[in-house]
Amino acid sequence: MTCLRPNPILSSLLLQAVEHLRLQWRSIGLAGDPFLESAELRPRLERLNARHLHRILGQIMQLCEDTASCKALAAVLQRQVLKPQAEPALASLVLELSPLLVSVPLMQRTQQPVRCADSLFSLPLVSTDLSIRTTNALRRNGFHQLGDLAAIDEERLKQCRNIGATSIAELNSLLDGFGLSLPFDAEIAQAIPSPEAPIASAAPQQSPELDLLVVDDSINRRWCEQAADCIRQQIATTPPLAVLHTLNGLCAPEPQVLAHRREELQELGEILQTIHTIGTSLGTESVIAAAGILQRKLLERYAQKFSGVFPAGAWLRELVLAGKRSAAISMLLQHASGMTLDQIGALREPAITREAVRQKIKSVEILCVCTSQQFREEVRRTLEQRNGEKRDHLLGHWIATHGRLPHGSDSALADLDAAQADAWEPLLVVGSSCLQQRLETYKALGIAVPEAEWDLHFQVICQRGRHVGPGYWHTIEPLKQFLPRFAAAQGDPGRMPLQIELPPSVHSAVTRHGGQGPVAEAVGLRYQGQLMGQGCRRFWTDERLAELLQHTAEHHRLPAGAMPSRTEIRRFMLSGARPEYKGKRPETVFLALKGYGHMRWEDVAVKFGRLRRHER
């Protein structure tokens, strides 16, 4: 069969024919204008093939010649109800012209008539209203027709595999419609006529996924676009029930035309409220987070379902049924929060198997097109994000109050009781972290390291027992902050401290960054050199040191050959008694006397032939 492609000439003829029919519609006094405008109609016609366009054109020509058909069509469009079995020709006309019409009425099915040709005894079970599960269970146990159940009581059925109270209730409901009950007599069943097979409708069948009610297309499409934008923009930051309230507000301008949308939103709202109630009743933070995620998933799925011009009724009906089975929702929330299938089954009264739990969870997963594993991953990410936001808020408030991050030495953290410790856990974690982790915390918060924090680092490093953390000295910034503070504490701001004066970890860091000279230049301190004079010669030679010791002993009138103490040397040099020592630093003398850190003071006395204090 050859495919008939769209024909632009036919489309143009159809547009002209619709305008002609529109004029006739008004000329005979019919209210309203049920036909789409040309701008909206043209893209629809371009999607139809030539055969369909020919059929529509023929229908329009007949309407232009038949005033009665126009009036009948107007009446159907006004009451929005059409019975295909009672008016097959009119139903065919409405469906044929549906691409041109603003609205299409609801197609109502009539009750199936009964014929007496066959008896109820031979009625196949597959043609009844029994569920597929019950029908399959009966078939596996040898019951194919309703007559096969004659003289079978409930106790006998309960012994059959996969037939329980629910299946028996369905059977009783079916038999009750014919005035029978279990067990029933075969002769009575043979005397009752069986229902006739459904009569083929004159109207073409539509997809079961779509409702038969199609409302004003232009208004509906505009609502769909606005609703989709609303969900897309608000779903991440606004509670789902609040988003639903906004969607209801979008229906306010056209309450009658969008009445079916209000009904959908009401049904969806009841389901979302049920999920919220279940999550709140279970109580744990992870379950409440899972409930919020499930609400958002269903709202997003609803947006996908109404993306066309048809309502999302079929999906909502399945969702309503799932909502009535609240156990399935609670099981999904518990599983998403981290509980295993066995743990969930053990909590039920009575306990059920893990397979039964899995089946119930799957019934909800199908509707939201998301597995419980995906739910669990989203719950984990959500909780991490919430905890991170809570942590950032607490830390930001603490920094604003105390000028820096919390530390284990803070009295405010030391006096916490158990309840406060649980609420302030992020502060306690940061308070016990090393210095490098504290710097990383500032970086994560996007906050510059304050001066109060560097003051704390200085105190911690000077304790010489505190671990600063791996990578702390990899950058020059900690040295820029520590060395000026250390120089000020030594009483000589602006001077680069000597290596021997620095704590061990800082000593290693200075070496890592090139030594005293480069580091002094980088941090903006005055470098003293390695006690060298001009021409790179050592100033404090042994001869000069010996002279200094002698001059000091004479100044303080010490016994002959006595070894001066550090305090006596310092007082002598600062006194200005001899001009050659003016401007010289006592620390450089001490360093030179001790062989740059390798000798004890007693060894210095021996080296220069001086008597120690206890030998005087």
H helix intervals, 408-515:
411-414, 418-423, 425-431, 435-445, 451-462, 477-489, 504-512
% helix / strand / coil in the chain, to the nearest 5?
Answer: 60, 5, 35
Q: For residues 52-59, give the mean pLDDT.
A: 81
Q: What is the pLDDT of residue 312?
A: 64
The answer on pLDDT for 26 being more than 50 is: yes
The answer on pLDDT for 121 being more than 50 is: yes
H helix intervals, 110-212:
132-140, 154-158, 165-176, 186-191
Please report the domains of the chain, with CATH numbers, ordered by start residue.
Answer: 8-107 (no CATH), 116-195 (1.10.150.20), 217-370 (no CATH), 433-528 (no CATH), 534-615 (no CATH)
With bands split at pLDDT 50, 70 and 90, how would you rate the model's confidence at 195?
low
Task: Find, among 318, 305, 314, 217, the residue nearest to 258 by Cα.
Answer: 217
Q: What is the pLDDT of residue 454?
A: 92
Q: What is the pLDDT of residue 1?
A: 36
Dmax over CA atoms of the chain, in Å, equals 145
Q: What is the pLDDT of residue 258?
A: 78
Q: What is the pLDDT of residue 538?
A: 62
pLDDT in tens, 355-384: 888 888 888 887 777 787 888 888 888 888
- In sequence order, the β-bridge partners of residue 119 are 193
More confident residue, 420 or 309: 420
Which residues have CB under 8 Å from 147's CB, separation 6+?
A: 120, 121, 122, 123, 186, 189, 190
Q: What is the pLDDT of residue 274?
A: 86
Q: What is the pLDDT of residue 118?
A: 60
Q: What is the pLDDT of residue 194?
A: 64
C-alpha atoms less than 13 angstroms from C-alpha of 288 in its C-beta half-sphere: 8
Say how far apart CA 225 and CA 308 lie, in whole Å. 10
The answer on pLDDT for 560 being more than 80 is: yes
Q: For residues 103-111, give the mean pLDDT.
A: 61
Q: What is the pLDDT of residue 421?
A: 66
Say how far apart CA 332 and CA 306 lie, in whole Å. 25
Q: For residues 326-354, give the mean pLDDT.
A: 86
Q: What is the pLDDT of residue 93?
A: 79
Q: For residues 90-114, give the mean pLDDT.
A: 68
Q: What is the pLDDT of residue 449?
A: 92
pLDDT in tens, 200-228: 333 334 333 333 334 345 677 788 888 88
The dihedral over CA atoms of 128, 134, 135, 137, expressed in degrees to the nearest 10, equals -160
pLDDT in tens, 151-187: 788 888 887 877 888 888 888 888 877 777 788 777 7
- Find the helix or strand (DSSP H, E) in which 107 lies: strand 106-107
Q: What is the pLDDT of residue 484?
A: 92
Report which residue type is found at 311: P
Say how far apart CA 322 and CA 208 lie, in whole Å. 18
Give the pair of three-digit tokens for residue 144: 């194919």
Say how far apart CA 252 and CA 264 lie, in whole Å. 14
CB 589 within 8 A of CB 551: no
Query: From its phi and psi, is residue 344 left (phi > 0), alpha (psi between -120 and 50) or beta?
Result: alpha
Q: What is the pLDDT of residue 88?
A: 66
Mean residue pLDDT across the chain: 78
Peptide bond into 6 cis (omega under 30): no
Say how far apart CA 226 and CA 221 lie, in whole Å. 9
Which residues have CB under 8 Å from 315's CB, separation 6+?
A: 209, 301, 302, 305, 367
Percent pLDDT > 90 in the chain is 4
Task: Find, among 540, 544, 562, the residue nearest to 553 by Cα.
Answer: 562
pTM of the model: 0.43
Say how far apart CA 594 and CA 566 lie, in whole Å. 11
Query: Coil, helix or strand for 81?
Result: strand
For residue 501, the tally of other CB atoms under 10 A from its CB is 15
Burial class (CB within 10 angstroms; exposed 0-12, middle 13-18, buried 19+) of 577: middle
Q: For residues 40-44, give the mean pLDDT.
A: 80
How would you classify the pairing of strands 81-82 and 106-107? parallel
- Find the helix or strand (DSSP H, E) in which 193 lies: strand 193-195
Give the pair of three-digit tokens for residue 139: 């078939």
Say how far apart CA 614 and CA 134 lie, in whole Å. 109
**302 to each of 215, 283, 312, 319, how far by Cα in Å?**
18, 27, 7, 10
Query: Coil, helix or strand for 474?
Result: helix
With bands split at pLDDT 50, 70 and 90, how would you rate the model's confidence at 395?
confident
For residue 524, the tally of other CB atoms under 10 A from its CB is 11
More confident residue, 309 or 513: 513
Q: For residues 489-493, give the mean pLDDT.
A: 83
The answer on pLDDT for 334 being more than 50 is: yes
H helix intervals, 463-582:
477-489, 504-512, 516-523, 542-555, 566-575
Say how far apart CA 507 and CA 521 lie, in whole Å. 16
Q: For residues 51-73, give the mean pLDDT.
A: 82
Query: Coil, helix or strand for 611?
Result: strand
Q: What is the pLDDT of residue 587?
A: 78
- In sequence order, the β-bridge partners of residue 444 are none
Give the pair of three-digit tokens for residue 276: 């919220």
**Cα 26 vs. chain centroid, distance in angstroms?**
55
With bands split at pLDDT 50, 70 and 90, how would you rate the model's confidence at 451?
very high
More confident residue, 78 or 35: 35
Q: For residues 288-292, give the mean pLDDT.
A: 86
The lowest-confidence range among 136-150, 288-302, 543-557 is 136-150
Give the pair of three-digit tokens for residue 405: 């991050």
**225 to each of 41, 162, 357, 555, how far by Cα in Å?**
18, 47, 38, 98
Say how far apart CA 294 and CA 68 lie, in whole Å. 53
Say how far apart CA 273 and CA 271 lie, in whole Å. 5
How would you classify the pairing of strands 114-119 and 193-195? antiparallel
For residue 257, the tally of other CB atoms under 10 A from its CB is 17
Q: What are phi and psi of 349, to 5 degrees?
A: -120, 105
pLDDT in tens, 229-259: 898 888 888 888 898 889 889 888 888 777 7
